A and B are shown apart, each in its own frame.
Chain A
Amino acid sequence: MPTSKTIAVAMSGGVDSSAVAALLCEQGHNVVGLTLQLWNQRRLAGHEGMPESVQGRCCSIDDVYDARRVAETLGIPYYVVNQEDRFEHDVVRPFVSEYLSGRTPVPCSLCNNHLKFDQLLITARQIGADLLATGHYARNEFDERSGRWVLKRPADRAKDQTYFLFGLTQEQLSRTLFPLGEMRKPEVREEARRAGLRLFEKPDSQEICFIPGGDYKKFLDAYLAEQGEEFPDTAGELVTTSGEVVGTHGGIHNFTVGQRKGLGVATGSPLYVLEIRGDKRQVVVGGGDELFSRTLRAKAVNWIAIDDLRGPMRVQAKIRHRHEPADAVIEKSGDDEVLATFDKPQRAITPGQAVVFYDGDAVVGGGWIT
């Protein structure tokens, strides 16, 4: 980039976003660091089943401290923007209600779609920055032919985060930079080290930022207790696909499609959770072969590489974060609903998760599995 711009960098206190800040400084830009304070990690500390002291990923005091130290080292202005209210409303509440109604949510996508990019881009403009840079591993390019901004998988496939970014609008993409898109993780650490950032060896973290330790069931318990809400009774029956009742369960939130352990039913062959019927409080179980399905329906679809889906389109569809995209054909099946038909049946298609459609490296779009 030949000219110097004012760029806001979303800083989490991790290596990736710190390296982004360092890179942009080296390129001569006017960089402002921003951290979203989204969740008070001390809030549920000490509640039944939650750790007394907490070391969550983002928003912990330590991470804000790390981000602030990086900003000091680089000599850039740095601010913490509090969005705890919105995070609770847009991410935590939906996360809780999704689980309680038998779906398996993806809070990071909710956060990116409804909060992170939205709010940080607003804050960036408020403080006079036209662009926002983040430490996500993804690429973002303007396609002259289609006249659209296209989100693409990064050079470092192992770190690909496009699955969590499918909700970005054209307006958001036009103002977002992913400087790590062409880099691999070791190069990013090396950049951080070279810039004199002491956190260059800080370990990666994969867990959900507001659930220290990753135990979502304990989190649900503690959160509802803190809110003074009764944990809803969602206990019910375990049934087979033919409707036979084979046992009972203590609550649908304890189950995820594809789960094998913890069913409490002894049969000759292994049983898996096939489906969760929230309205009937039923958990449908069956053999592993029954887990495979050739179709899924997605709602609230956001298109990126195309402006709309006009006819059937051949794509590769990714149905969970650790899923290798599989060949499929997508077509519209209703207002704001897309039907994806896979060439080969896919295991454990899970309502509540996101499905993201790729055309090679490019993200065609994505939505939520119903």
Chain B
Amino acid sequence: MHRVYLDNNATTPLLPEVFEAMRPYFFEKFGNASSIHQQGQQARSAVEHAREQVAELLNCRPAEIVFTSGGTEGDNLALFGLMKPGDHLITSSVEHHAVLNACKRLEEMGCAVTYLPVDGRALVDPDDVRRALRPATKMISIILANNETGVLQPVSEIGKVATEADVYFHTDAVQAAGKVPLDVKETGCDLLTITGHKMHGPQGAGALFVRRGTLLQPMMYGGRHERSRRAGTENLAGIVGLGKAAEIAREGFADGSVERMAGLRDRLEHGIVESVEQIGVNSVGAPRVPNTTNIYFDCIEGEAMVIALDLKGLSVSTGAACSSGAIEPSHVLTAMGLSPDRARASIRFSLGKQNTADDVEFALSLVPEVVARLREISPVYKRVHA
């Protein structure tokens, strides 16, 4: 069966160049980067090269990069590494669970957390951040690009608020890397999380930018890896892949590949809007990453639509990937004011650099037909049109 993958916000396929860069580090260059001998030195040099590649993507110093296992670890290390009982943290109601559930744990540990609301386009108001500041505020953590809607938060404005108030600012940039240019100086953040597998790198390798002078309490204890900020033998091949993916991601802003992806996303979005009635694009009009569109189809169940499309060869998602299937309607969509029904009727299409115009046409050939069939048997749709 012909298959098209439009769920790149869940994970992206590895680029062949990335795999080629990683391959030797599984075999002949297998060393432990902490070893004294030649294999060790070779590994160390590869890790440090990757650190430079990631630093270039983020416009920071290589020493400010801590390699992690991915986005969840990066977010957790940022939050648990700085927050102490009694401290206050400001975050939003549209964060990824890696931040939201870490915040719940911080509350159990005696921290205070403010969850800021968002407007109808899912945007956080920087003035709300300012108003939420307290003497005990230690940190602000706001997602840069939302995983479900692709909305870009005004992080530079929030960065200014953080600088003025002299509090730490962390941003989860997992879904932004490779899609919009990142610059920690311009953003004014002290910590920033990325992961490899959302930008055509390997799963299990990520990085946390930690501004120089930020004293981070590690979460794992062991050897003095990563300047004692993250113990454990480096995931050598993964880190090499992450570095290569970061390099390609940075080039993507100049070589036209991001622009091409944006064009395909727009074609898909317009095509669906033109061919299906009673739908709407969530967060339309807000600044968004160029690969994501999140659309509600009234009177359908998103879960059923994902299954129906999957059986016809198209992979999409109802929003955040969840191990046992979606349980609650998306907290992101309900926070921006969608009814639970409309949140459950929302589908996320997310493109990657591998997608082609044919992929988009394939999706456009399936979606109207599947929506029509689902509506035909939907008791809700019949009621509306009775």
A interface residues with partner B (beta carbon < 8 Å)? 32, 37, 40, 61, 64, 77, 79-82, 84, 122-123, 125-128
Contacts and interface: CB of A to CB of B under 8 A. Distances in A.
Contacts of A126: 301, 304-305, 307-308, 373-374, 377
A61 B324 contact: yes
Given A82-B303, A126-B308, 20 more contacts: A37-B325, A37-B327, A40-B327, A61-B324, A64-B324, A77-B311, A79-B310, A80-B324, A81-B304, A82-B325, A82-B327, A123-B304, A126-B304, A126-B305, A126-B373, A126-B374, A127-B304, A127-B311, A128-B311, A128-B373
B284 interface: no
Interface residues of B, number: 15
B310 to A, nearest CB: 7
Nearest to B322: A82
Q: Interface SS of chain A: helix, strand, loop or mixed?
A: mixed
B197 to A, nearest CB: 23
Interface in B247-306: 301, 303-305
A80 B325 contact: yes
Contacts of A127: 304, 307-308, 311
Contacts of B374: 126
Q: Give the one of A64, A79, A82, A127 with max B CB within 10 A.
A: A127
Nearest to A82: B325
Interface in B95-115: none
A37 B310 contact: no
B60 interface: no
A37 B377 contact: no
Interface of B: 301, 303-305, 307-308, 310-311, 324-327, 373-374, 377
Contacts of B327: 37, 40, 82, 84
Contact of A125 (B311, B324, B326, B377): B377
Nearest to B303: A81
Q: Give the one of B305, B307, B324 with max A CB within 10 A.
A: B307
10 contacts: A77-B311, A81-B304, A84-B327, A125-B377, A126-B308, A126-B373, A126-B374, A127-B304, A127-B308, A128-B308
Nearest to B327: A82
A122 B308 contact: no
Contact of A77 (B303, B310, B324): B310
Nearest to B323: A61
A1 to B, nearest CB: 21
A128 B376 CA distance: 12
Contacts of B377: 122, 125-126
Nearest to B326: A82
Contacts of A84: 327
Nearest to A34: B307
A81 B325 contact: yes
Contacts of A79: 307, 310, 325
B324 A37 contact: yes
Contacts of A122: 377
Contacts of B310: 77, 79
A126 B301 CA distance: 9
A80 B303 CA distance: 9
Which 4 residue pairs of A and B lie closest in terms of their CB atoms, listed nearest first? A126-B304, A80-B325, A82-B325, A125-B377
A40 B327 CA distance: 10
A68 to B, nearest CB: 11
Nearest to A126: B304
Contacts of B308: 126-128
Contacts of A125: 377
Contacts of A123: 304, 307
Nearest to A6: B311
A84 B327 CA distance: 8
A290 B29 CA distance: 86
A332 B295 CA distance: 52
A126 B307 CA distance: 9
B196 to A, nearest CB: 27
